[in-house]
Structure 1
Amino acid sequence: MSHPAPAGEERPRRLVVLAGPTAVGKGTLSAYVRDHFPEVWLSVSATTRAPRPGEVEGKHYHFVDAAEFARMEQAGELIESAVVHGRNHYGTPRGPVEQALGDHKMALLEIDLQGARQVRESMPEALFVFLAPPSWDELVRRLVGRGTEDEEERTRRLETAKVELAAEDEFDVTIVNDDVRRAAEELVSLMRSH
């Protein structure tokens, strides 16, 4: 049985969902927030893809095999899940997000567009933030400059990015990722006001 919160006690905070096209810099922005704004709790996604150089289990992702990911989905342990770029599974573990919000933490969920749409279905009260590139040319430059994908993968990601950019109007707020520090400060300011 739940009891009403005592007078003056904070209500759980509003989840902030950050999404945007591939290579726009969601991971870089999230890392900056993690390093410079310790009051922000960042959700750690589960994925079936292999770690990229420098990625740490439990900090950047929970790296799981396909069988464990399927078990988590079946058990209802994920708020959202998606197959990204036709290959790898990604998903957001439900328990830690609910715990962070219940503890009145500023909670940030950085995910892809498919995942953001699923979260809107299950948690429509969340604030949805679209991270946009300064321009299409800059997005292409970032994607090619990253050097972690082969030509076929880059082509697939660019096609995906075109579709993802067109979804901007589904979001509550847009932040342009022209400068990581500025964009992070804008995002955290937004989180504090919600």
Structure 2
Amino acid sequence: MTAPNRRGLLIILSSPSGAGKSTLAGRLRQWDNDLAFSVSATTRAPRPGEVDGEHYRFIPEATFKAHVADGEMLEHAHVFGNFYGSPKGPVSKAIESGCDVLFDIDWQGAQQIRNSDLGQHTLSIFILPPSITELHRRLVNRAQDSADVIDKRMRKSWDEISRWDSYDYVLVNDDLDETEAQLKTIISATRLRREQQPQLNDHVRTLQTQFEELT
């Protein structure tokens, strides 16, 4: 679904853990094969089964810091002793070719991207759970974390939820199919924003020339 006559979007999805963000991101990529997922860079060592360039871009800390100093990271953070960030180069190339890039990041990363020189092409969406009880139930039912980790995720969730009003759109994920449909509507409409269609300037100039020829 690549559209060379438009610029791509930087689509940011954020939510507390368990609200359905990863599932929705996967559905969006199935909906549009040209929707790329931003591969973060990190200074931590690869875990078993992780592939460089697919799961993360694994780079030395000195290299990471140099990229930050040179403005080559759209956003970055220091988490549990390691650095994580989104390289700017691949994202810029993708959006200029008309492809959208999907980011699964927190509110701090979202804020950094919105404040970058690519901020005008950003679409930020926050996913809320229908209730705290339901959020806890989902974390327990996915059986991926220990009780201690689930407790930590729940304690962190309110800090994330409290940032909801800094996003362009906020959706309550009470029904996965309905939320998916809403996401598609939002993305489809935002792709038509004036700043995403650079060819409009040439088209309007052509119309002006045609009008002057008739008068």
> TM class, shorter-chain normalised?
0.7 to 0.9
Instruction: State the Cα distance separating 1:181 from its structure 2 match.
Output: 4.0
- Indicate the larger mover: 160-169 or 99-108: 99-108
1:118 maps onto 2:87 in alignment = no
Give the aligned length: 185
Match of 2:149 among 141, 148, 153: 153
Q: Compare CA radii of gyration and give the structure with the larger one.
A: 2
- The corresponding residue for 1:102 is 96
Q: Deviation string for 1:61-93 (max 9, x for gaps)? A: 334454553343334321001234x45432111
| Contact map agreement 1:45 1:90 (CA 8 A) in 2 | yes
1:127 maps onto 2:126 in alignment = no
Structure 1: which 4+ aligned runs deviate by more than 4 Å? 48-57, 63-68
> Residues 148 and 50 of structure 1: is their aligned pair in 2 closer, same or farther, counting only changes over 3 Å?
farther
Q: For residue 142 of structure 1, give the secondary structure of its aligned residue in structure 2.
A: helix
Instruction: State the Cα distance separating 1:173 from its structure 2 match.
Output: 0.5
Match of 1:168 among 164, 168, 192: 164
More helix by share: 2
> Residues 21 and 172 of structure 1: is their aligned pair in 2 closer, same or farther, counting only changes over 3 Å?
same
Identity of aligned residues (%): 39
| Contact map agreement 1:32 1:181 (CA 8 A) in 2 | no
| Contact map agreement 1:21 1:113 (CA 8 A) in 2 | no
Match of 2:5 among 10, 24, 43: 10
Instruction: State the Cα distance separating 1:186 from its structure 2 match.
Output: 2.3
Q: For residue 33 of structure 2, give the secondary structure of its aligned residue in structure 1.
A: coil
> Residues 62 and 24 of structure 1: is their aligned pair in 2 closer, same or farther, counting only changes over 3 Å?
farther
The one-letter amino acid of 2:33's match is: P
- Indicate the larger mover: 48-57 or 140-149: 48-57
Q: CA RMSD in A?
A: 2.8
Match of 1:140 among 136, 139, 145: 136
The one-letter amino acid of 1:116's match is: A
In structure 1, what is the Cα distance between the partners aligned to 2:169 and 2:31?
22
> Residues 80 and 171 of structure 1: is their aligned pair in 2 closer, same or farther, counting only changes over 3 Å?
same
- The corresponding residue for 1:4 is none
1:28 maps onto 2:23 in alignment = yes
Q: Deviation string for 1:101-138 (max 9, x for gaps)? A: 10112332221111011112114322211111122112
In structure 2, what is the Cα distance between the partners aligned to 1:184 and 1:51?
32
> Residues 71 and 184 of structure 1: is their aligned pair in 2 closer, same or farther, counting only changes over 3 Å?
farther
- Indicate the larger mover: 88-97 or 158-167: 88-97
Structure 2: give runs of 5+ residues left out of the alignment.
Answer: 191-215
TM-score (norm: length of structure 1): 0.78
